[in-house]
Chains A and B, each alone.
Chain A
Amino acid sequence: MLNYIIKRLAIAVPTLLILIVLSYILMYAAPGGPFTREKALPPQVIANLTARYGFDEPLWKQILIYVWNIIAHFDFGPSYIYKDRTVNDIIAQGFPVTLRYGMIAFVVSALSGIGLGVVAAINHNSRLDYAAVGISIGAQVLPNFVMAPILVLVFTLWLGWLPGGGWEGGEWRYVIMPVIALATSYMAYIARITRGSMLEVMTSNHIRTARAKGLPMSKVVLRHALKPALLPVLSFLGPAFVGMITGSVVVDMYFSTGGIGKAFVDSAQNRDYAVMMGITLLVGILYIAFNLLVDVLYAWIDPKIRY
Chain B
Amino acid sequence: MILSPIGMLSPIDMSALTARLATLDEVKGRSLWADARSRFARNKAAVAGAIVLVLCFAYAFLGQALSPHTFDFTDFKIMGHAAELGRPNWSNGHYFGADDLGRDLFARTAQGTRISLFVGVIGAFISVVVGTIYGAVAGYVGGRTDQIMMRIVDILLAIPFMFVLILLLVMSGQSFLMLFVGIAMQSWLGMARIVRGQTLSLKNKEFIEAARAIGVPTFTIIIRHILPNLLGIVAVYATLLVPEMILIESFISFLGLGVQAPRTSLGALIAEGAKTMTYGTLWQLAFPLFFFVTTMFAFYFVGDGLRDALDPKDR
A contacts B directly (C-beta below 8 A): yes
B151's partner among A15, A125, A306 (CB-CB below 8 A) is: A15
Which chain A residue has the least Cβ–Cβ distance from B146? A307
- Give B contacts to A, CB under 8 Å: 7-8, 10, 45, 142-143, 146-147, 150-151, 154-155, 157-160, 162-164, 166-167, 170, 189-190, 193-194, 196-198, 200-201, 204, 232-233, 235-237, 239-240, 243-244, 247, 250, 254-255, 267, 270-271, 274-275, 277-278, 285, 289, 292-293, 296-297, 300, 304, 307-308, 311, 313-314
Taking a contact as CB atoms under 8 Å apart, the answer to whether B7 and A145 are in contact is: no
Please, which residues of chain A bring their CB within 8 A of the CB of B293? 137-138, 141
Apart from the given pairs A30-B166, A280-B159, A302-B204, 11 other A-B contacts in the complex at a CB distance below 8 Å: A22-B155, A125-B45, A134-B297, A141-B296, A145-B250, A196-B233, A200-B233, A205-B7, A231-B201, A242-B157, A291-B150
Give the nearest-CB partner of B275 in chain A. A149
- List, in ascending order, chain A residues with CB within 8 A of B10's CB: 205
A153: B residues at CB distance < 8 A: 277-278
- Residue contact A189 to B160, C-beta cutoff 8 Å: no
Determine which of B157, B163, B235, B277 lies in contact with A149 in the assembled complex, contact meaning CB atoms within 8 Å. Answer: B277
B193 and A238 form a contact (CB under 8 A): yes
**Which B residue's beta carbon lies closest to that of A307?**
B142
Question: Of residues 254 to 279 in A, which have CB atoms within 8 Å of B's CB atoms?
Answer: 264-265, 268-269, 276
Residue of B nearest to A14 (CB): B151
User: Is there contact, CB below 8 Å, between A30 and B167?
Assistant: yes
Q: Are B151 and A11 in contact (CB under 8 A)?
A: yes
Given A138-B293, A196-B236, A232-B233, are A203 and B158 also a contact pair (CB < 8 Å)? Answer: no
Residue in A15, A133, A134, A302 whose Cβ sees the most chain B Cβ within 10 Å: A15
Considering the chains assembled together, what is the distance between the CA atoms of A307 and B160 in angstroms? 29
The answer to whether B274 touches A137 (Cβ under 8 A) is no
In the docked arrangement, what's the CA distance between A284 and B200, Å?
23
Question: Which of A137, A203, A283 lies in contact with B297, CB distance below 8 A?
Answer: A137
B98 to chain A, nearest CB (A): 21
Count A interface residues, CB 8 Å: 68
Measured CB to CB, the nearest residue on chain A to B9 is A205
Decide: B233 and A15 in contact? CB cutoff 8 A.
no
Q: Which residues of A have CB within 8 Å of B160?
A: 23, 26-27, 264, 268, 276, 280
State the Cβ distance, A203 to closest chain B Cβ, in Å. Answer: 4
Q: Mark A129-158, 1 if CB is under 8 A from B, else 0.
A: 010011001101101011001100100000
A29 is an interface residue with CB less than 8 A from chain B: yes
Q: CB of A298 within 8 A of chain B? A: yes
| Cβ contact within 8 Å between A291 and B247 | no
**How far is A31 from B300 in the complex, measured between Cα atoms in Å?**
40
The reply to whether A193 and B197 contact each other, CB–CB distance below 8 Å, is no
* A232 and B194 contacting across the interface, CB-CB below 8 Å: yes
- With both beta carbons as reference points, the residue of chain A lying nearest to B198 in the complex is identified as A232
Sample 23 A-B pairs with CB under 8 A, ordered by A number: A8-B147, A11-B147, A26-B167, A29-B167, A30-B166, A137-B300, A140-B296, A146-B270, A149-B275, A150-B277, A196-B307, A197-B233, A199-B307, A203-B311, A204-B7, A204-B313, A235-B198, A236-B190, A239-B193, A269-B255, A284-B154, A288-B151, A298-B200
Q: Which of B157, B250, B308 contacts A143 (CB 8 A)?
A: B250
Chain A residue with Cβ nearest B148: A11
Number of A-B contacts (CB under 8 A): 176
In the complex, what distance in Å separates the CA atom of A227 from the CA atom of B204? Answer: 17
In the complex, residue of chain B having the shortest beta-carbon distance to the beta carbon of A143: B247
Given contacts A199-B314, A238-B193, A302-B204, whether A284 and B167 have CB atoms under 8 Å apart is no
Minimum CB–CB distance from A131 to chain B (whole Å) comes to 13
Contacts of A81 in B (CB 8 A): none
Roughly how many angstroms separate A206 CA and B283 CA in the complex, as a whole number? 52
| Chain B residues positioned under 8 Å from A19 (CB to CB) | 155, 158-159
Contact call B201/A304, Cβ cutoff below 8 A: yes
* Complex contacts, A205 vs chain B, CB 8 Å: 7-8, 10
Neighbouring B residues of A7 by C-beta, 8 Å: 147
CB-nearest residue of chain A relative to B313?
A203
| A7–B7 alpha-carbon span in the complex (Å) | 34
In the complex, chain A residues whose CB is within 8 Å of the CB of B159:
19, 22-23, 26, 280
For the complex formed, measure the closest distance between the CB of B140 and the CB atoms of chain A, giving whole angstroms.
12
Q: Output the least CB separation between A156 and chain B (Å).
A: 12
Q: Which residue of B is nearest A264, CB measured?
A: B160
- With most chain B CB atoms within 10 A of its CB, the pick from A143, A192, A242, A301 is A143
Chain B residues in 8 Å Cβ range of A305 = 200-201, 204
Q: How far is the CA of A211 from the CA of B43 in the complex (A)?
A: 25
Q: A11-B147, A193-B233 are in contact. Are A291 and B155 (CB under 8 A)?
A: no
Given contacts A30-B166, A137-B293, contact A235 B232 (CB under 8 A): no
The answer to whether B274 touches A149 (Cβ under 8 A) is yes
B197:A287 contact, CB within 8 angstroms: no
Q: A119 at interface (Cβ–Cβ under 8 A)?
A: no
- Judge whether A234 is part of the interface by a CB distance below 8 angstroms: yes
Contact between chains at A291 and B193 (CB < 8 Å): yes
Tell whether, in the assembled complex, residue B154 and residue A287 are in contact, meaning their CB atoms are under 8 Å apart. yes
9 nearest CB pairs, A to B? A196-B236, A284-B158, A235-B197, A304-B204, A203-B313, A235-B194, A26-B163, A146-B274, A302-B201
